[in-house]
Amino acid sequence: MIIFEFRIFIYCDKIKSRFLKCKTVGGNSHSRGIFWQGWGAGYSEIIKENKLFEHYYTELKIVPEGEFEEFMEAMREPLPATIRITGYKSHAKEILHTLKEKYFKEVQDLEVDGQKIEAPQPLSWYPDELAWHTNLSRKILRKSPLLEKFHQFLVSETESGNISRQEAVSMIPPLLLKIEPQHKILDMCAAPGSKTAQLIEMLHSDMDVPFPEGFVIANDVDNKRCYLLVHQAKRLNSPCIMVVNHDASSIPRLHFDQDGKKDVLFYDRILCDVPCSGDGTMRKNIDVWKKWTTSNSLQLHGLQIRIAVRGVEQLAVGGRMVYSTCSLNPIEDEAVIAALLEKSEGALELADASPDLPGLKYMPGITSWKLMTKEGQWYSDWSKVPTSRHTQIRPTMFPPTDPEKLANMKLERCMRILPHHQNTGGFFVAVLVKKAPMPWNRPDGSSADAPVEAVEGETPAEGNPSVPDTPDLLEVKKDNVCGPPPPKKMKLFGFKEDPFVFLTEDDPIFPPIQAFYDLSPDFPKLNVLTRTHEGKKRQLYMVSKELRNVLLNNSERMKVINTGVKVWSRNTDGEQFGCAFRLAQEGIYTLCPYIRARIINICVEDVKVLLTQENPFLRKLGDDAHNQAKKLGMGSIVLRYLPDPKDLDAPQCPIDLCGWRGKTSIRAFVPRNERLHYLRMVGVEVFHDKQGKRNDGSTEIQERSTEDAEGLSQEHHSSVPFYDAAAAETGPLEVLVG
């Protein structure tokens, strides 16, 4: 298995919290594994056997007859490493081309210690060959320079957001949601964020649209894990993502203004990937072997139902919700879906998702199951459960007893992925479509899509399984400030967040920026925000119009951890050139459609010069770029490469780089891993050998510390040092390219 190891450092105002490698924890934890561990590392004493597990699943017959031994053998084998090329950026095809034509070709003919290396293979069911799996191990990686180069490529591209390390089965739920750019999406239990990243990519399928109408609200109950989620989301540089921190089973109902009227926010798509016992992850989380017991599922069943119910309450009529677990246990799977369908009284139906992923092998959901205690005692019906067990075992854990009701549920439309069928982890997924408002949202026959005033004061019907909404303040926060909820409204825990302050159209910051970059008249000024209510504004961020709407109308009921993409950073020295704010690479693709000045068109050779030389003189650019640069004054610039359809050896996608035009020189102002990414796109490979040398034999002048390169601030994440205009002429800051 390819091992990816890095540390994420999270900095807040007063607390520095270090996240090391996170493991999947069974039982009650929301964690399902954040970074792959070395197969067997630290687990040599764990024997991959659990007789209770084998007995339980033999009796349940979820595995086809005659395949159980093969199933158990697969569970004991290491899980292949899988990667996904992000479809969010127009660079996805270029990455795929590089992988297939360079790294995969080199690997397929390679032998290490007389053993032929198994070439990576595409996942047959993932569209456009954008997901691959490989069985390369750490031991083999260490023995081959070619494989080490491949490994460095994967790590670097992952950090720049162009490749995602993600378990194969984890990629399934977002695909089944059928995301479109206008969809409002809720990810209920989002951390660590690999599925969230997929949702964002799908939202931005058209890169010519900087602000899709849709957005993703990514929630997690664990405050610390929310920052890990922020790190994942920030690699994608989207203005359409918001990270919030709530208990998914009681996540607040949000409101927004629509045509001057305040309405309830209902989501078009909801991903409900609930906390589970994780017995489908035994191939990568070996400690589950010794910790597994049936009581894990019994303890989680109620929480899973509450989260799922809260999800469908907030789903728009006609919307889709995907419920998923990495557990094979029907108590966490079909039992939850059956309970949900029964509570809905026809408002929900299971969709047939079989045509959506041709090539994916799965088993249909089961309609009959029984329950076993950790002592090995079986119950097939609620009526047989003794009173002493009623607090542990609930009626919803059993299949419906009415045959007609059971048949109408169509539980066979659920999908259970077994490890031995396509060499994956174990997984369960079900797609629910909302046909009508939930019964408890329409006690008088009224629609759940009623205005806020009609919904807000409702009394839940008797037996309502949802957690009722708490009273809310509906007024928009004054002065365009969206702060964290006050302590009396909501219990605060974790790190203290700075407020989100939206700038007004007449903010004095705008005129110099507008003039310097010649922003087009349709530039959405109202979408610009800062995290500082008082004092100088150092960073400017942008969110989509729809997320601004959500922020302003829900400041008292929602704990926002992070939102927006950084577009400008203050550079005081820039004031003498006409603008105190330089462009930020993170938001360049969001801003560029509105920028009409300060643009230099460059060619492939210019890209190579700008990204391999630290502070090249203007004359080192090609004649065309040089002439453009001479006409510009000093300050922040856009360096734009446009593809030439006739030159098929050059990148066939546009590239925008932030830069700085100095007195006699020019500089690309791009984070290290993005530099490596763009260099590979133009045919330059930068590779470190074990002595830290580049492939051209030179060494770095100054290596960035891990802490500096991977630091994650609560306000912004940047692996670029703050730019000082004077430094461009007086000396180097540091080498950013390996």
DSSP code for 86 = -
Per DSSP bridges, beta strands 363-364 and 378-379 are unpaired
- Return the number of other C-beta atoms located less than 10 Å from residue 257's C-beta: 13
- Partners of 502 in the beta sheet? 529
Whole-prediction pTM: 0.83
Burial label for 652, CB within 10 Å (0-12, 13-18, 19+), is: middle
Most confident of the ranges 18-22, 156-160, 410-414: 410-414
Bridge partners (DSSP) of residue 253 are none
pLDDT at 702: 31
Annotated binding site for S-adenosyl-L-methionine: 189-195, 220, 247, 273
pLDDT higher at 131 or 557: 131
More confident residue, 116 or 158: 158
pLDDT at residue 443, rounded to an integer? 55
Domain edge (last residue) among 405, 440, 475:
440
Co-location of 172 and 209 in the same domain: yes
Q: CA–CA separation, 722 vs 710, rounded Å? A: 15
Residue 87 pLDDT > 90: no
The answer to whether 76 and 284 have CB atoms below 8 angstroms apart is no
Q: pLDDT tier at 689 (50, 70, 90 boundaries)?
A: low
Binning pLDDT at 50, 70 and 90, where does residue 716 land? very low
User: What span, in angstroms and rounded, lies between the C-alpha atoms of 28 and 32?
Assistant: 11
Q: Residues near 381 by Cβ (< 8 Å), separated by ≥ 6?
A: 398, 401
Alpha-carbon distances, residue 400 vs 336, 342, 380, 391 (angstroms): 11, 9, 11, 20
Last residue of a domain, one of 408, 440, 472: 440
Please, are residues 146 and 107 in contact by the beta-carbon 8 Å criterion? yes
- Say if residue 620's pLDDT is above 50: yes
pLDDT for 208 equals: 75
Q: Are residues 331 and 432 in the same domain?
A: yes
Whether the pLDDT of residue 582 is over 80: the answer is yes
Q: Say if CB 257 and CB 549 are below 8 A apart.
A: yes
Q: What is the mean pLDDT of the chain?
A: 81
Write the burial class of residue 588 (CB in 10 Å: 0-12 exposed, 13-18 middle, 19+ buried). Answer: buried
Residues 170-217 have pLDDT tens digits of 999 999 999 999 999 999 999 999 999 999 999 988 777 888 999 999
* Distance in angstroms (rounded) separating the CA atoms of residues 301 and 337: 11
Question: At 364, which amino acid appears?
Answer: P
When mean pLDDT is compared over 98-102, 178-182, 529-533, the highest value belongs to 178-182
Residue 330 has phi, psi (to 5 degrees) of -60, -20
Catalytic residue among 22, 326, 482, 658: 326
Least confident of 44-48, 88-92, 425-429, 705-709: 705-709
Q: Mark whether 292 and 371 lie in a shared domain.
A: yes
Residue 15 domain-assigned? no
- Examine the domain organization and report whether 103 and 123 are in the same domain: yes
CB-side neighbour CA atoms (13 Å) of 569: 24
Whether the per-residue pLDDT at 242 is higher than 60: the answer is yes
The pLDDT confidence band at residue 221, using thresholds 50, 70 and 90, is very high
413 and 327 part of one domain: yes
Rounded Cα distance, 403 and 394, in Å: 20
Active site residue 326: yes
* Same domain membership, residue 385 and residue 277: yes
Same domain as 349, residue 247: yes
Paired tokens of 273: 């990937």
Asked if residue 130 belongs to a domain, the reply is yes
Tell me if 678 is assigned to some domain.
no
Strand 599-602, strand 635-641: pairing: parallel
Does a structural domain hold residue 425?
yes
Instruction: Write the CA distances from 311 to 434, 447, 554, integer angstroms.
Output: 11, 17, 18
Q: Taking Cα atoms as reference points, which of 419, 416, 420, 418 lies closest to residue 428?
A: 416
Q: Mean per-residue pLDDT for 53-59?
A: 96
Q: Are residues 276 and 375 in the same domain?
A: yes
Given 440, 474, 501, which residue is the final one in a domain?
Answer: 440
Segment 415-437 mean pLDDT: 97
Give percent of the chain above pLDDT 70. 78
| Section 650-654 average pLDDT | 89
- Report how far residue 242's alpha carbon sits from residue 238's, in angstroms, rounded to the nearest whole number: 10
Q: Within a domain: residue 698?
A: no
- Predicted confidence (pLDDT) at residue 377 exceeds the cutoff of 80: yes
**Of 466 and 622, more confident:** 622
Give the number of other CB atoms < 10 A from CB of residue 201: 23
Contacts of 563 (CB under 8 A, 6+ apart): 241, 242, 243, 500, 541, 543, 547, 551
**Which of 118-127, 216-225, 231-240 is the most confident on average?**
216-225
Residue 524, CB half-sphere, CA atoms under 13 Å: how many? 20
Q: Measure CA of the first residue to CA of the last residue in the chain; give whole Å.
A: 25
**What angle (nearest 5°) sits at the alpha carbon of residue 240, between those of residues 237 and 242?**
95
pLDDT in tens, 302-333: 999 999 999 999 999 999 999 999 999 999 99
**Which pLDDT does position 138 carry in this prediction?**
66
Among 363-367, 451-455, 528-532, top mean pLDDT goes to 363-367
Task: Say what the pLDDT of residue 232 is.
Answer: 85
Residue with tokens 């009529």: 317
Q: Which structural domain, as residue segments, surrounds residue 414?
A: 168-440
- Domains of the chain: total: 2
- Distance CA(382)–CA(205), nearest Å, equals 48
Q: How far apart, in whole angstroms, are the C-alpha atoms of residue 153 and residue 145?
A: 12
Beta carbons within 10 angstroms of residue 42's beta carbon? 12
Buried b (16+ CB within 10 A) or exposed e, 600-634: bebbbebbbbbbbebbbebeebeeebbebbeeeeb
User: pLDDT digit string (tens) for 512-526?
Assistant: 999 999 999 999 999
In a domain, 109, yes or no: yes
Q: Is residue 725 domain-resident?
A: no
What are the backbone angles phi and psi of residue 601, rounded to the nearest 5°?
A: -80, 130
Q: What is the CATH number of the domain that holds 288?
A: 3.40.50.150
**Paired residues of 243 in beta bridges:** 218, 562
Residue 677 has pLDDT above 80, yes or no: yes
Q: What are the E-state strand segments in 188-298? A: 215-219, 241-244, 255-258, 261-264, 267-273
> What confidence score (pLDDT) does residue 36 get?
34
Does a structural domain hold residue 11? no
CA distance 443 to 275: 31
> In terms of pLDDT, which residue wins out, 385 or 110?
385
**Do 189 and 30 meet the contact criterion of CB atoms below 8 Å apart?**
yes
How far is the C-alpha of 72 from the C-alpha of 286, rounded, in Å? 14
Do 307 and 179 lie in one domain? The reply is yes
Examine the domain organization and report whether 100 and 222 are in the same domain.
no
The one-character DSSP state at 42 is T
Are residues 87 and 195 located together in one domain of the fold? no
Say what the pLDDT of residue 168 is.
Answer: 96
Q: What is the band of 45 on the pLDDT scale with cuts at 50, 70, 90?
A: low
> Same domain, yes or no, for 249 and 306?
yes
